[in-house]
Amino acid sequence: MSASAEQATPLAALARAQDALPGGPGWAEWRARALERLLALGLPTPRDDAWKYTNLRILGKRTLVPALPRPLGTVALDVLPPVAGPRLVFVDGRFHPGLSAGALPAGVTLTPFAALIERGQPALLGPALTGPDPSAIDVRIRLLNACFAVDGAVLAVAPDTAVAGPLQIVYVATGGGAYPRTEVELGAGSALDLIEYHVAADDAEAFVALASDLRLGPGARLTHSCFQLAGAHTVLLDDAKVTLAADARYRHRLVALGGQVARLDLRVALAGHGASAELAGLFLADGRREHHVRTLIEHRAPGTRSDQSYRGVATDRARGSYDGKVIVHPGAAGTESRQSSRNLLLGREAAVDTRPQLQIETDDVKCSHGATTGALDEQVLFYLLTRGLDRDTARALLTYAFLGEVLGLLAPEALRRAVEARVLGRLPAAALIREFLA
Amino acid sequence: MSSTPPDLDQLVGQKYRHGFVTVIDSDTVPPGLDEDVIRLISRKKGEPAFLLDWRLKAYRHWLSMHEPRWAHVRYTPIDYQAISYYSAPKTSSDGPKSLADVDPKLLATYEKLGVPLHERARLAGVAVDAVFDSVSVATTFKARLAEAGVIFCPFSDAVRDHPALLERYLGSVVPPHDNFFAALNSAVFTDGSFVYLPKGVRCPMELSTYFRINAAKTGQFERTLIIADEGSHVSYLEGCTAPMRDENQLHAAVVELIAETDATIKYSTVQNWYPGDEHGVGGIYNFVTKRGECRGQNARISWTQVETGSAITWKYPSCVLRGDNSVGEFYSVAVTNHYQQADTGTKMIHIGRNTRSTIVSKGISAGHAQNSYRGLVKVLPSADGARNYTQCDSLLMGARCGANTFPSVEVRNPTATVEHEATTSKIGEDQLFYLRSRGLSAEDAVNMVVSGFCKTVFKELPMEFAVEAQNLLAVSLEGAVG
């Protein structure tokens, strides 16, 4: 995994780019350490198991150097669904007060990441980067983020606070490297509904490496929805790490529609007794897009549950992948885990790869996984044709129905409707299908 | 099952039943590997020049390769220079001409294993090409097979008698540079089996080879090549048992199958190499490359394996489905107990149109064992209408064992349909309780649940093998529940 000659140049540029970043010597040292470790690991190659399905050629063409603050052109936030509630907007990884709106609800405190940097205390992120990683997962996105993150949201929800209405975070990319950082700490018994959006203009050649760290206290509940509408030339690497204490409950919803190469690495550690995670998502990759979903769920305590349900559609020359691993550690008795990945392959040159993996180190478990990849069912298609639908409409209707299970899980309703409309907009004969659904 | 019933305690300490060593004067070269050793092997076998070149090329490539580390297994590094690469039983002449010429001690060994060459083989209608260490010592039923036109002989005979076939097919499915262990095998293989079925021939009997490991500190590097020409049909059985040994032994075999148009090859394995003792000491390292290629239309290759032995198993019998409408199958039962580690599975590569594959894998893990299924289903853009169905189930017995499933599914054709499903669970306590309440012993109850779990695989085995496999399973799991 040593850096090859052509990789050496951009990495050297990265080291120089660090000098321009804010923060005292503590931060400089911390970032230098992250870069050093990243260099030691080397940039991903197709031989790295974790990067086998991701198009590294496109990654190689992007500048990773962080974008400098600059005057904004038009940022089209009208693509966002009309969901009520406060909104934090980050442009190229920096907080943008002008676009942000709404007051934070009671019980939620926000510390800008930039403020932490000013205070010169990088301790918050230290252990996660330097400590040994027992699950041997790929930490390079996280390291890259650590090298360049200058802003982000550090949110805390007070114990026993059920936050009313969703809290929204919008990540806007206008070009160049963006390294937003999100930290959420949910106190015991609290509840939060968090919605993330990724937005970028289609002509923006952007590289976004987002790192999120979500910690759920005992009995806390978090619904975390991610609506990805990045531009056609955006590379988006989203690395989210979630830790659950006893009886905490985490829900993740992914809707991936945009980007050139978009990848989610979601790690969930069920660390407390009775914790549960429910992950569901869909991707709709058309043209030459790439959508990748990688999940790692670690059952570290007894009585924990996880459930995953992913639907993927790849058309034209698009690529998609689902690589999910469930680890049941010794002692995690009574674990229940389910994993399902279903994929539609609708293009002659489209490709879908799936790897549903189970690694189980104790016997008192009930684990299952299923994965399918195929075309639309010809018999069902035929039935619709006999009902008078033309082939394109019938295919579109079936594709929409295929995603229906995941769409139905989205909340609040304004979000679900917006996603449904977006998905329909991608399919032929959308107007006709809307009529059916009405 | 929170406490161990006393009657099971003694069963936990079950010793390996086939553990014995026959003292035979071996013609063994000193440990170590270099080009001279390879030249020596080649000279001893009287090989043609092309084969020596082939070996040397493989060796030189092997030197540039690294031992694979991706498998979910742990073992102390192998010292390849500490292994003796050639060992042949000494016999009075160049080789036994008939059973009477065979060393009686060898025959006695087979008796202990329950393989009386001259009696049971005939009764069962099975031709046994018994491989002892690295040189074949006896072959039966040659005449009957010859009558049908089937060539079934030790690999070294094939080198002597059928060099043209060998030159054409050897390494055409598993090239010498394929992987680390295949390269090593290609450089130093000493013997194995060779089968050729001419066009349209249906083999009149099941073919069977028993592999044995005997001399201390020798690795075994078997090479099997089975060629089924157009429209032919063969069922091949391979069974293994090995004597008890304290030192880890390396076994790196290569099996190549070639099925031409309309041909069928059915390859069944019962693998019971010495698994090491209950503390994980000793046992065989079984690092095998098995691959079959369906070259013509409607060809069919079916792998069935029952893996109960070996300390470490690293084995992925695979099918390359090149011919249109060709079929690949993989049925596997892998049992690991004590400190055994198995990383096994299959690859199905769909190239031709309407190719179909089925994978059924059952893993059973007990004690401190690790059992992994690792598979790849790949549908290439050319494989219109390809179809795969995969099912892998794991059964766990005990809180300290592990069961893993690592499948990869790569689809590049929108007309393909690929389905994968897997489950992992503890052996059903309610099922065991029910069976015990009907008067079955704990041991019988476990056996019954396990054989039900494995049934879909066992029914793919030839009958006499199915019985052996069932017995083997019972022995392997004795005392596993506690």
Q: Considering CB atoms only, which of A346, A353, A365 is closest to B414?
A: A346
Tell me which amino acid residue B175 is.
P
Least CB–CB distance from B423: residue in A333, A348, A367: A367
Which pairing describes strands A234-244 and A351-360: parallel, antiparallel, or unpaired?
unpaired
In this structure, the strands spanning B126-132 and A249-256 are unpaired
Please compute the mean of the pLDDT values over residues B352-381 and round it to a whole number. 95
Q: Is A135 on the interface with B (CB under 8 A)?
A: no
- Residue type for A117, please? I
For an interface test with B, give the residue of A327, A342, A373, A380 to mutate (most B CBs within 10 A): A373
Is pLDDT at B459 greater than 80 in this prediction? yes
> Is A135 a residue whose pLDDT tops 60?
no
Confidence label for A32 from pLDDT (cuts 50, 70 and 90): confident
Among A50-59, B14-23, B263-272, B304-313, the minimum mean pLDDT is found in B14-23
Asked whether B338 and B481 are in contact (CB, 8 A), the reply is no
DSSP letter (8 states) at residue B387: E
List CB contacts (< 8 A) between B404 and chain A.
357-360
Query: Please, which pLDDT band fits residue A22 given cuts at 50, 70 and 90?
Result: confident
Rounded Cα–Cα distance for residues A394 and A436 (Å)? 11
Is residue B102 within 8 Å of residue B139, measured between CB atoms?
Answer: no
Judging contacts by C-beta atoms under 8 Å, the chain A residues touching residue B414 are 345-348, 350, 375
Determine whether the interchain pair B399/A364 forms a contact, defined as Cβ–Cβ distance below 8 Å.
yes
| The pLDDT of residue B217 | 40
Predicted confidence band at B92 (pLDDT cuts at 50, 70, 90)?
A: very low
Q: How many Cβ contacts (< 8 angstroms) between chains A and B?
A: 115
Q: What is the mean pLDDT of chain A?
A: 89
Work out the angle at residue B371's Cα, subtended by the Cα atoms of residues B370 and B375, and round it to the nearest 5 degrees: 140
Q: Does A350 touch chain B (CB under 8 A)?
A: yes
Q: What is the average per-residue pLDDT within B262-289?
A: 88
Contacts of B401 in chain A (CB under 8 A): 361, 363
Lowest mean pLDDT of A316-325, A329-338, B94-103, name the range.
B94-103
Q: How far is B362 from chain A (nearest CA, A)?
A: 14
Q: Which residues of B touch A49 (CB under 8 A)?
A: 70
From residue B129, give the alpha-carbon distance in Å to each of B192, B221, B342: 9, 16, 27
Chain A positions touching B382 (Cβ under 8 A) are none
The answer to whether A317 contacts chain B (CB < 8 Å) is: no
Give the nearest partner residue to A351 out of B398, B407, B411, using CB atoms.
B411
Q: Which residue of A has its CA nearest to B398?
A: A363
pLDDT for residue B190 is more than 50:
yes
What burial letters (b/e) apply to A238-276, b meaning 16+ CB within 10 Å?
Answer: bbbbbbbbbbbbbbbbbbbbbbbbbbbbbbbbbbbbbbb
- CB distance A364–B412 less than 8 Å? no
Q: How many CB atoms lie within 10 A of CB A1?
A: 11
Mean pLDDT score, B94-110: 53
Quick one: B66 exposed, middle or buried, by C-beta within 10 A (0-12, 13-18, 19+)? exposed
Q: With beta carbons less than 8 A apart as the criterion, state whether A357 and A321 touch.
A: no
| Beta pairing partners, B227 | B196, B258
pLDDT at A17: 86
Nearest alpha-carbon partner for B246 in B271, B272, B275, B219 = B275
Judged by average pLDDT, the poorest of A138-147, B135-144, B195-204, B363-372 is: B135-144
- Residues of B in Cβ contact (< 8 Å) with A348: 381, 414
Answer whether A365 touches B (CB < 8 Å).
yes
Interface touch A363/B412, C-beta < 8 Å: no
Q: Find, among B376, B417, B349, B411, the residue nearest to A374 by Cα.
A: B417
Asked if A374's CB is within 8 angstroms of B417's CB, the reply is yes
Q: How many CB atoms lie under 10 A from the CB of residue A2? A: 11
**Token pair of B40 as six digits:** 């020596």
Q: Which of A34-48, A89-103, B36-50, B252-266 has the lowest mean pLDDT?
A: A34-48
The 10s digit of each residue's pLDDT in B390-445 is: 999 999 988 889 999 999 999 999 999 999 999 999 988 899 999 999 999 888 89
User: What residues contact B231, with CB distance under 8 A and at least 6 apart?
Assistant: B199, B200, B261, B262, B263
- The DSSP H or E segment spanning B97 is none
The secondary structure element, H or E, covering residue A408 is none
Q: With contact defined as beta carbons under 8 Å apart, do B263 and B299 qualify?
A: yes
CA distance to partner chain A, nearest, from residue B315 (Å): 18
**Is B406 in Cβ contact with A357 (below 8 Å)?**
yes
pLDDT of amino acid B156: 86
For A409, half-sphere exposure in the C-beta direction (CA atoms, 13 angstrom radius) is 21
pLDDT value, residue B464: 67
* 3-class SS letters over B125-149: CEEEEEEECCEEEEECCHHHHHHHC
pLDDT in tens, A360-418: 999 899 999 999 999 999 999 999 999 999 999 999 999 999 999 999 999 999 999 99
pLDDT band at A59 (very low <50, low <70, confident <90, very high): confident
Q: What is the pLDDT averaged over residues A85-104?
A: 92
* Beta carbons of A358 and B426 less than 8 Å apart: no
- A61-70, B262-271, B468-477 — which is least confidently predicted? B468-477
Structure confidence at residue B214 (pLDDT): 45
B87-89 vs B26-28, strand pairing mode: antiparallel
- How many Å apart are CA A271 and CA A231, to the nearest integer? 36
More confident residue, A420 or A17: A420
pLDDT value at B4 more than 60: no
B180-188 helix and B35-44 helix, angle to the nearest 10 degrees: 50
Cis peptide before A412 (omega within 30 of 0): yes
**pLDDT band with cut points at 50, 70 and 90 for residue A241:** very high
Amino acid, single-letter form, for residue B19: G
Residue A5 above 50 pLDDT?
A: no
Could you tell me if A2 lies within 8 Å of chain B, comparing CB atoms? no
Length, in residues, of chain A: 438
Average pLDDT over residues A10-36: 82
Mean pLDDT computed over every residue of chain B: 82
Per-residue pLDDT at A434: 83
Strands A108-112 and A206-216: unpaired
Distance CA A313, CA A404 (A): 12
ipTM, two decimals = 0.87
User: Residue B416's closest chain A neighbor by CA?
Assistant: A374
Instruction: Report which residue type is found at B119.
Output: E
What confidence tens digit (pLDDT) does each residue in A166-204 have? 999 999 999 899 999 999 999 999 999 999 999 988 888
Structure confidence at residue B64 as a pLDDT band (50, 70, 90)? very high
Is the distance from CB of B301 to CB of B257 less than 8 angstroms?
yes
* Contact predicate B425/B395, CB 8 Å: yes
Cβ atoms within 10 A of the Cβ of A127, count?
8
- Asked whether residue A120 carries a pLDDT value surpassing 60, the answer given is yes
Q: How far apart are CA A145 and CA A30, in angstroms?
A: 12
CA distances for B203 relative to A21, B196, B423, angstroms: 76, 10, 38
**pLDDT surpasses 70 at A268:** yes
**Element (H or E) spanning B300, and its range?**
strand B300-307
B164, pLDDT greater than 90: yes
For A398, left (φ over 0), alpha (ψ -120 to 50), or beta? alpha
Any CB–CB contact under 8 A between A371 and chain B? Answer: yes
Between CA A121 and CA B41 the distance in angstroms is 68
Q: Which residues pair with A285 in a beta bridge?
A: A314
Residue B27 — φ and ψ, nearest 5°?
-95, 90
Q: How far apart are CA B284 and CA B276, in angstroms?
A: 7
User: Is the Cβ pair B417, A367 closer than 8 Å?
Assistant: no
∠ CA B167-B223-B78, nearest 5°, is: 125
Å from A43 to nearest chain B CA? 20
In tens, the pLDDT along A274-291 reads: 999 999 999 999 999 999
Which among A159, A168, A293 has a CA at the least distance from the CA of A238?
A: A293
Task: Using an 8 Å CB-CB cutoff, list chain B residues near A354.
Answer: 407-409, 420
